[in-house]
Amino acid sequence: MTREPRFDILFEPLKIGPVTAKNRFYQVPHCTGMGWQRPNMLAAMRGMKAEGGWGVINTEYCSIHPSSDDLLCPYASLWDKSDIRAHLMMTEKMHEHGALAGVELWYGGATASNLYTRNVPFDVNSKPSWKGFPFQSRKMDKQDFRDLRQWYKDAALRAKEAGFDIVYAYANHNDLLHNFQRVGTNDRTDEYGGSVQNRSRLLRETIEVLKDTVGDTMAVAVRFSPDDERMKNNQPVTEETREFFMQVAELPDLWDVTAASWDIELGTSRFVNEGGNEPYMSYVKEMTSKPVVAVGRFTSPDTMVNQIKRGVVDMIGAARPSIADPFLPKKVEEGRFEDIRECIGCNMCYTGDQLGIPIRCTQNPTMGEEWRRGWHPENIREKGSESSVLVIGAGPAGLEATHALGKRGYNVMLSEARKEIGGRVAQESRLPSLSEWVRVKDYREQQFLKLPNVDVFLDSKLTAEEALMAEADHIVIATGAKWRSDGFGRTNTMPIENLNHSKQIFTPDDIMAGRLPEGRVVVFDDDYYYMGPVIAEMLQRAGCDVTFVSTADMACSFGVYTTEQPTAQKSLMEAGVKLVFSQNIDAFDGENITLECMYTEQESSLKADAIVMVTARLPTDNLYYELQQLMEDGKAGATKSICRIGDCEAPGPIASAVYSGRLYAEELDDDSGINYSLRRDVNFQD
Ligand code: ADP
Ligand code: SF4
């Protein structure tokens, strides 16, 4: 297919200082959980994006010196020759496909607690890290400024040797350069503090060093927040930031701008929509003649065109859309819009960095597995036999297995008990703020429509005998899981004994099916993710008097890793939900709940008409065990294998279900004998 003319603007080349990007698709720096520790994984993953048509591809934050070490979070580094070699593997792949390679040079200051190198970091003053570790930076002295300039210079030269085309000064996100910029953090009285002129000095010097060192052949970009967080008195300081920006507006070759607040820049789709950054940065283009790039979780090509035509940006910045679909630019170019795997804004990808593990993605199960397992987001090897496969259950696991098996060429029958496909994503996406979850279903559904070898049977709840009657060679059970109502979970490792099992106990499945409690409702959260807060807020807004009781010390504690925790808790509070933390439920007599403090075991009482239990899920695995027994008894006919995947095997996030579907499909008829889990990545030092 040829490109529609209205998208031509996205494919116009753009000059960035001494280099030229082939199109307007710009993968901004984003964390990967790989960094210097996993160079092969990183090279293969970024190389995939180059193949997918991105014009510019950047690294994650890349440390210029060992005194800027952010472990546990895996960052990139340019400290020595081994780093140059590691990055070269990546930049070569980018150049193979005509992409520019950018590196986000980073000095963290107090943010980097140097847990690995044990160096003392320096910063604008002696301040504690916002990350909560019990260390402080030292205040920069004159020698530190000289050292910093030298380190930027050395890192820029290494970047050049490593084949990069763009070099960044990373000047936001509470790191060193940002701390010098902000009135709220810079209390210096020397030439680096006080006036805008003084506070912008370090950024100006850094840009100058980079320009002088490599600016003849490499573009110099700056990552910057053109708004700023509010001061203590809650006054916006945007005017002040504008004044600051005027000092530096023409100095670099490109501006990469994002809202100062992570909650906006990296907000989950629960709280921030596509294009959510615009109000915070739209003035920038008026104030500089240099190209501007900004993110906004853009997945709609029309919105992208609109952003450029309205003069908001020159290039479309993307982190998450490029993770969910590394081939997004190619698909736009070829007019294959229905093939775009749209990001759902869940931020599972960001957990990689926060947990120190390789990146993963809900929509794109191949993300992070390009090197280890050799997976490709668009291609999959042909079937290894003429086998047929029956997939039972059309949730994310069953859908992904069906899609990938179908693409391999197997004859696939997908049987679903309900009248619609989607399983949990269809159900959950009907809850407030989770509507984008449905994209997990939509993408796969679109893909089935093209495959003549895939048959979908709705309203078709199968028993073990009926499953065998399909005479498939392989049976995959993807029947999901149900929320438990008995209180069993991470805290109560047995059902709660003194629970009045009346109609007053509800589960998220009840809520999603429209069976709602009334009056005083306790949402008991032992799950620690989004489901409890979403339901609590929904019921409160529907008129219930809701108390959110959790065994944890905060709401949505897993959201610390996805960035949504503070917003989720704020949202609950603003909705008027009462919050009770560190309490377990000991008993419920239908009117009173007995709570027990997690620390002191002290008991207290709470009046309630109903409880919504958000604790754990029970796999729907009876069909699996029945079929397994029939196999064992030799009564399964010609069936060669029976397997369970997704939540039916082990309940988890949607990303795990999708991954497990993909894994099944990739491994069917794989007789290589390779255990890919054993493939560990290393960076060899000199
Ligand atoms: P996962 O997240 O593992 O994909 P889900 O709970 O989202 O699991 O989806 C499981 C799907 O399986 C649901 O749509 C459910 O209706 C379906 N299902 C459960 N039991 C059967 C059965 N016996 N026959 C067909 N479909 C079933
Ligand atoms: Fe988008 Fe979620 Fe994938 Fe991240 S993990 S890219 S937020 S779908």
The structural domains of the chain, with segments of one domain joined by +, span: 5-355, 388-480+620-674, 485-618
| Contact between 476 and 385 (Cβ < 8 Å) | no
**C-alpha distances out from residue 51 to 97, 328, 340, Å:** 6, 10, 15
- Ligand of minimum distance to the alpha carbon of 33: 2
| pLDDT (0 to 100) of residue 232 | 46
375/398 Cα distance (integer angstroms): 19
Supply the DSSP symbol for 75. -
Residue with CA nearest ligand 1 atom 20? 479
Q: Which atom of ligand 1 is nearest to the CA of 415?
A: 25
CB of residue 320 inside a 6 A radius of ligand 2: yes
| pLDDT (0 to 100) of residue 260 | 81
The CATH superfamily assigned to 485-618 is FAD/NAD(P)-binding domain (3.50.50.60)
Q: Which atom of ligand 1 is nearest to the CA of 654?
A: 2
- Ligand of minimum distance to the alpha carbon of 477: 1
CB of residue 362 inside a 6 A radius of ligand 2: yes
Ligand 1 binding residues, C-beta < 6 A: 392-398, 415-418, 423-424, 461-462, 478-481, 620, 623, 646-648, 657
| pLDDT (0 to 100) of residue 38 | 95
Supply the DSSP symbol for 368. T
- Ligand of minimum distance to the alpha carbon of 400: 1
State which CATH number among 1.10.10.60, 3.20.20.70, 3.40.710.10, 3.30.300.30 fits the domain covering 5-355.
3.20.20.70
The CATH code for residues 388-480+620-674 is 3.40.50.720
Q: Which residue has the tokens 């996805």?
A: 562
| pLDDT (0 to 100) of residue 347 | 97
Cα–ligand 1 centroid distance for 1 (angstroms): 36
CB of residue 361 inside a 6 A radius of ligand 2: yes
- Ligand of minimum distance to the alpha carbon of 660: 1
Cα–ligand 2 centroid distance for 216 (angstroms): 37
Cα–ligand 1 centroid distance for 479 (angstroms): 3
| pLDDT (0 to 100) of residue 1 | 67
Q: What does the block give as tokens for 124?
A: 């604008």
- What are the DSSP calls for 255-287, one per residue? EEE--S-HHHHT--TTT--TTTTHHHHTTHHHH
Q: Which atom of ligand 2 is nearest to the CA of 364?
A: 3
| Contact between 70 and 134 (Cβ < 8 Å) | no
CB of residue 323 inside a 6 A radius of ligand 2: yes
Establish whether the linkage from the previous residue to 210 is cis, with ω within 30° of 0.
no
| pLDDT (0 to 100) of residue 678 | 87
**H or E segment and range at residue 508:** helix 508-512
Give, rounded to a whole angstrom, the gap between the first and last alpha carbons of the chain. 49
Q: Which atom of ligand 2 is nearest to the CA of 268?
A: 7
Cα–ligand 1 centroid distance for 514 (angstroms): 19
CB of residue 426 inside a 6 A radius of ligand 2: no
Q: Which atom of ligand 1 is nearest to the CA of 479?
A: 12
Residue with CA nearest ligand 1 atom 14? 423
The list of the chain residues with pLDDT below 50 reads 231-236
Give the 3-state DSSP-derived string for 376-410, with helices as H, strands as E and coil as C. CCCCCCCCCCCCEEEEECCCHHHHHHHHHHHHHCC
| pLDDT (0 to 100) of residue 238 | 67
Strand partners, 123: 139
Phi-psi region of 408 (alpha: psi -120 to 50; beta: other; left: phi over 0): alpha
Cα–ligand 2 centroid distance for 291 (angstroms): 27
**C-alpha distances out from residue 156 to 159, 170, 213, 220, Å:** 5, 13, 7, 10
Q: Are strands 603-607 and 592-597 parallel, antiparallel or unpaired?
A: antiparallel
Q: 485-618: same fold as 388-480+620-674?
A: no
β-sheet with 583-588: strand ranges across: 498-499, 583-588, 592-597, 603-607
Q: Which residue has the tokens 């520790």?
A: 37
Residue with CA nearest ligand 2 atom 6? 320
Residue with CA nearest ligand 2 atom 1? 343
Cα–ligand 1 centroid distance for 424 (angstroms): 8
Ligand 2: which of 48, 362, 369, 428 to mutate, judged by most atoms within 8 Å of the beta carbon?
Answer: 362
